[in-house]
Amino acid sequence: MHSLKAVTPLGASAPVVDEINGFTMREVVDRALVSVAARKGQDKAVAKILAKLIDAPTPQAGHFGGAMTKSKSAAIWMAPAQWMLDAPMKSRDDITTSLAAEFGGKASLTDQSDAWCRFEITGPQIDRLCSLLCAVDPRRLTAGCATRSSIEHIGAFLVRLGRTKLHVIGPRSSAASLHHAITTAMTSSVY
């Protein structure tokens, strides 16, 4: 039997943390991601089930709902009748099977956890960082908003958790490139 050891998307044994110019960027590895797509004619039923799972209204276009905390789940709006469910990693063991029971065949579910990397960025100048990082107007990306954008030609999701907190979610295969883009923006953020 092989002795395998899990690594983070950046290839480390523990999440990478960078502190630059008042910003802290932390690699997030304790969240599971599952895509939820309502099957034909099941939009309202799936939205109702999802709202119950995240204990909040189902997010509409450009938003997320719920809480991204150690014990709570959230959902990010992806497209009409499609969301990305964000759940604590401890619940990941066979997460799609348990969710399939909740949705009762009304939605198609796919575990996306290993396909994505996530960076949590905190700091007082998140708007400035955002303006250096991508073409999203930071005045419109307020707490509770989520959007897609391109960062260094890499498709990514930006999720604004608060005035001083932002999550960047991108393809795991581009983790090092996203990390470089974010740390470069952190370094360049000084006026």
- What average pLDDT does range 134-143 have in this prediction? 92
Domain pair 17-28+115-188 / 31-113, same fold = no
Confidence (pTM) = 0.92
HSE-CB at 146 with a 13 A cutoff on CA atoms is 24
Integer angstrom CA distances of residue 144 from 162, 177, 180: 7, 26, 26
Q: Which option is the CATH number for 17-28+115-188: 3.40.50.80, 3.30.1360.120, 1.10.3720.10, 3.40.50.10490?
A: 3.30.1360.120
pLDDT in tens, 75-133: 999 999 999 999 988 655 678 888 899 999 999 999 999 999 999 999 999 999 999 99
Is the domain spanning 31-113 CATH 2.60.40.2310? The answer is: no
Domain ranges of the chain: 17-28+115-188, 31-113
What percentage of the chain reaches a pLDDT higher than 90?
84
Q: What angle do CA 179, 182, 185 make, to 5 degrees?
A: 150
Cβ atoms of 33 and 68 within 8 Å: the answer is no
Other CB atoms within 10 Å distance of the CB of residue 43: 16
